[in-house]
Structure 1
Amino acid sequence: MTIPCRIKSIIRKNSPVLWAIPMGTGSISILFFAFPYGQGTQPMAILSLIFYFLNIGLFVLFNASTVARFVLYPKSLKPLLQHPNHSLFFACYPMGATTIINVSISCVYEHYGFGGRGFIYFIWVLWWINIAISALCFWGLTHLMITRHTHALSTMTSAWILPVVTFVVASSTGAVTAQALQTFSAHSALITVAVSAFLLTTGLLLASTMLTVYILRLVVYGFPPGLSILSVFLPLGVSAQAGYSVSLIGTNLRNLLPLTSSQSPFFSLRSSGDTIYLFCSITAFLLWSWAVLWIIYALLGLVHNLRRTRIQFQLTAWGLVFPNGVFANLTVRLAEVYDSGFFRVVGAVYSILTFLLWCYVSYNTILMFPALLGPEPVEIENNPEPVKNEGSGSNHKSSFAPAQIPTSSPLHIPKIESAGNASAYQAPSYEGTPIG
């Protein structure tokens, strides 16, 4: 069967950046169900389900598109993995999947009572698969950053933490899953919490190290130019998601401990569960405070850039939705833990702002459809010269110089390939209306 040229053109324009769309949409589904005013009511649950099924549809669509791309253009995978920026967005794949798992448990299973033991264990299996994919991103993509990509401190963005934050996001989903598992198997729930704690610790430590370097980059070279300034919001996702995860881990251990059948002085200690819960609740607030720090830096940087230039909208703006969504979710969680009206109001307001942000980004994305459905863009550069890693004394890394983006083109895809490789990766750069 012959595939129409227009469909092949759309498939060829597929980019890992698209995985930020279901990731952000899933966070909106979570926010509707957790919204502090009207939480657990039928209207909120229905709104959550609407975004839940929309997210599943997007997830299936992008899976099919990605598979089709690598089937039709198998030689495009290697250049894509060697691309120092677009390859990092593969990490959005497992993070988008975690939002589906979370809503499947909180709304579909717990609220509507769908499924039972078999459904929860099926979700548990999906979580383990998600961990495997997250590990591939965590170690695999960071290994490529070290051995194959060429990076410089002056061009660093917080997108570097995308592969690392996959573990932090998976840990929070594990904590959500453990709460449902407790009904059927305390042992399985405890294993899940232990693995979640490992994922949280590993991911948060490496992310903190990278963010320390990122602060150095901001001090030495200033805020990233243009739309790259939006990457300053990404650290918000690390701190907020870590706070949400550690809070749920504390709640789980308060319910699971002590283990009366254990001879361990730790697990059998009567106050162990309550002590861990108190520690985790305090830590969650500290991580929330860290997230506020990044929000202020991000807003200052955004205003700084908007006063100097107009920023063209691109699909990478979807990276704004998820970090802000998880911050709103953590704030709502702290409102429950501390029974605080302050956190409840802030969480509600921030949830609404995040939803409006999703609407704005979605609207501008829809405006790009004509460009996606249009003819194949003109190839700007067929055989760009590799950029060597200056100052390292070694040429073992490989990257490519970016092509210039014509200002008159609404959609530009610079072609990145080796000589004679007609199906190599093309790095999309979708431009639309100015942000400011």
Structure 2
Amino acid sequence: MDLFQDLKDRGLIYQHTDEQALRKRLDSGPITLYCGFDPTADSLHIGSLLPILILKRFQLAGHKPIALVGGGTGLIGDPSGKVSERVLNPKEIVEQWAGKIKNQLSHFLDFEREENPAIIANNYDWLGSLQVIEFLRDVGKNFPLGAMLAKDSVETRMSKGISYTEFSYMILQSYDFMKLNELYGCEMQVGGSDQWGNITAGIELIRRTSVDQAKEVHGLTIPLVTKSDGVKFGKTESGAVWLDSQKTSPYKFYQFWLNTDDRDVVKFLKYFTFMSIAEIAVLAEGVEKEPEKRKAQRALATEVTKLVHGQKALERAEKITGALFGGGLKDLSASEIEEGFSDVPSATLDSPEIGFVDLLVQAGVVTSKRQAREAIENGAIYINDLRCSDLETSVPQLERLGGQYLVVRRGKKNYYLIKFK
């Protein structure tokens, strides 16, 4: 397979150094490349998934990827793509987050295979021991101030203000590229489109400091992922979509992809799955001719959830989805009920020995007993998917899902979860 062409066909190449030279290098044999991930939280989110998958695509094609965890640069903060200064986190916290991100990256890259195992590295290993005078003399002198100020990541921040701390980030990232080139023979850096200035600065540093003037290194960036509806990619009403199942459940993760707009789904299939271009073309035709069937969205949700969380988590997400939208709540366990309804209003009641009207008021389904009676008589109240239009419904006799829950629906879309102690 022509990897470079496949990346082009998927729309995954935004910027790159000399295409002819890069193609020639990729055709000549395995290349070592890297991408950096700063620990700005205790988990990566789906904004990091695309560069992770770029590394995975290169590894599957026989190349050697390096996943660089920014234990050092994470203490500084990258100004790229940011309109204001980042909050500086304590060293102990960044170190803890770096360890968790290492573990996450190992889920996607194979560090054990014989032929081209991936490498995991932490730039604190070399940045943490730098001596400031030596660094400024040996590295800093290679960065003309005019060139640094002209970089987009710096220029866009000049009007709003940028500290010397973040201004120096470019030098540290460039130094990472140089060190990885020395330690592992790394010849290419990949990253998001907002990293182009930092990547080219690293290429220039290697050119200036290398004793081998014929040494050639490369850079490649991927596009910024956007959504057609204008909402920031990876954001939902409840916040960011994380790769950690404890922060974003596999069910919510699955639902995020399942709810992809028709205008975005084909692009996301190309970006985030390993389906062939031919397979995606078939799904694209379905989006045009039979959009109501949402086959492309289901394929996207299935492939990405399985990739990130595994087959069992996918099956659980599909089971919860089928139960919630297909009328099978009784088949769910207590934990599946909690996962499926984790983002709806909920209430915990001490005892079921109350009337049906009082139940709805105490659970917050309605605001008054009069409103409760009207909703019941109008057939707008459902308990565990069954319509309850009788004011005298016996609460103690209502079946508890998972032994302790009632799922109340008012109208078509308003869900409430009631838990009994």
TM range (shorter): under 0.3
Higher strand share: 2
Decide which structure has the larger Cα Rg and report it: 2
- Give me the TM-score of the superposition, normalised by structure 2: 0.23
Higher helix share: 1
